[in-house]
């Protein structure tokens, strides 16, 4: 892999560790624990070594999902694998890219599935940021990657943090939707179930005067990558996850997610016209 100057690559990470107050307060204890842990120290050491060697690391803000979506606001969790490894692509939200960047194949398949489910194309610009601000946590299992080297930080230790984040949500009072796309995301299914069970045991031992939390909804399908989106056992294309999530939210007295971005400024210009397919 060729080295790439961080100083000349504004789309890459500039320093690590971050200031803890950059993320929502409800996530901060978990981040602090992680940074003090053996896994967190290993992540810090490797990121600092990569940066010192002039290796570009993406995204520039690995914890952006934790800044945009506070734990108390989370209603849906979409789990990805690791960030895009091309310059300018990763932005700290799973599957999202910054404005003006060509839509990657996985995201394009997400747009196609949205159109299939709702009958019209989504408004692409800023759409996933819009999801994040509605309580959709777009979380990758690994939060950084070296430039041009997919999955290069997969075994670095990030899972200790992302597992803790998922566990905190699973143990909470709110019934959530978890979208598990691909094997990496589906590996967290047991963690979600264990977290929910731990919550139920605690609630039984310490009854409180509030309504019982319903069961979380776990939706599993293949990853939206073109390599797997149409393959069995559960193809991503045709999975119906977005409509099913909204049905679940309504059942629990919650508002649906504006998956298509109708509330976005300039939403009169969708990705494709009515009746047209996303290319």
C-alpha span between 66 and 28 (Å, rounded): 9
Which candidate in 50, 82, 129, 258 is catalytic?
Answer: 82
Instruction: Name 137's bridge partners.
Output: 77
Q: Which residues does 222 contact at the CB level (< 8 Å), separation at least 6?
A: 181, 182, 228, 229, 231, 233, 234, 235, 236
- CA-based radius of gyration for the chain: 19
3-class secondary-structure state, position 249: helix
**Catalytic site includes residue 73:** no
Terminal CA-CA length for the chain: 32
Whole-structure pTM over 0.75, yes or no?
yes
Tens-binned pLDDT, residue by residue, of the chain (279 aa): 334 333 334 589 999 999 999 999 999 999 999 999 999 999 999 999 999 999 999 999 999 999 999 999 999 999 999 999 999 999 999 999 999 999 999 999 999 999 999 999 999 999 999 999 999 999 999 999 999 999 999 999 999 999 999 999 999 989 999 999 998 899 999 999 987 775 554 344 434 333 345 589 999 999 999 999 999 999 999 999 999 999 999 999 999 999 999 999 877 544 444 444 444
Runs of H (alpha helix) within the chain: 28-36, 38-52, 64-68, 105-118, 127-132, 158-170, 183-186, 189-205, 241-251
The helix-helix angle for 189-205 and 158-170 (nearest 10°) equals 40
């Amino acid at each position: 892999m060729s080295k790439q100057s961080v100083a000349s690559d504004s789309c890459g990470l500039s320093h690590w560790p971050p200031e803890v107050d950059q993320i929502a307060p409800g996530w901060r204890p978990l981040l602090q624990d992680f940074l003090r842990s053996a896994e967190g120290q290993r992540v810090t050491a490797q990121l600092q070594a990569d940066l010192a060697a002039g290796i570009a690391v993406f995204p520039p803000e690995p914890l952006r999902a934790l800044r945009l979506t506070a734990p108390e606001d989370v209603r849906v969790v979409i789990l990805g694998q690791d960030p895009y490894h091309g310059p300018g692509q990763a932005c700290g939200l799973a599957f999202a890219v910054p404005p003006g960047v060509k839509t990657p194949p996985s995201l394009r398949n997400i747009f196609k599935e949205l159109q299939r489910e709702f009958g019209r194309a989504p408004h692409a610009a800023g759409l996933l940021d819009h999801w994040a601000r509605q309580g959709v946590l777009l979380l990758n299992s690994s939060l950084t990657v070296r430039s041009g080297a997919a999955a290069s930080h997969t075994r670095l230790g990030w899972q200790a943090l992302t597992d803790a984040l998922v566990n905190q949500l699973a143990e909470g009072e709110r019934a959530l939707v978890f979208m598990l796309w691909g094997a990496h995301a589906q590996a967290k299914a047991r963690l979600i179930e264990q977290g929910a069970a731990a919550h139920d045991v605690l609630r039984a031992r310490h009854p409180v005067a509030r309504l019982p939390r319903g069961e979380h909804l776990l939706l599993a399908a293949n990853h939206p990558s073109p390599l797997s989106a149409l393959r069995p056992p559960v193809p991503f294309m045709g999975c119906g996850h977005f409509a099913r999530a909204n049905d679940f939210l309504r059942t629990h007295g919650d508002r649906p997610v504006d998956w298509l971005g109708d509330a976005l400024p300039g939403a009169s210009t969708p990705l494709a016209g009515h009746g047209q397919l996303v290319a």
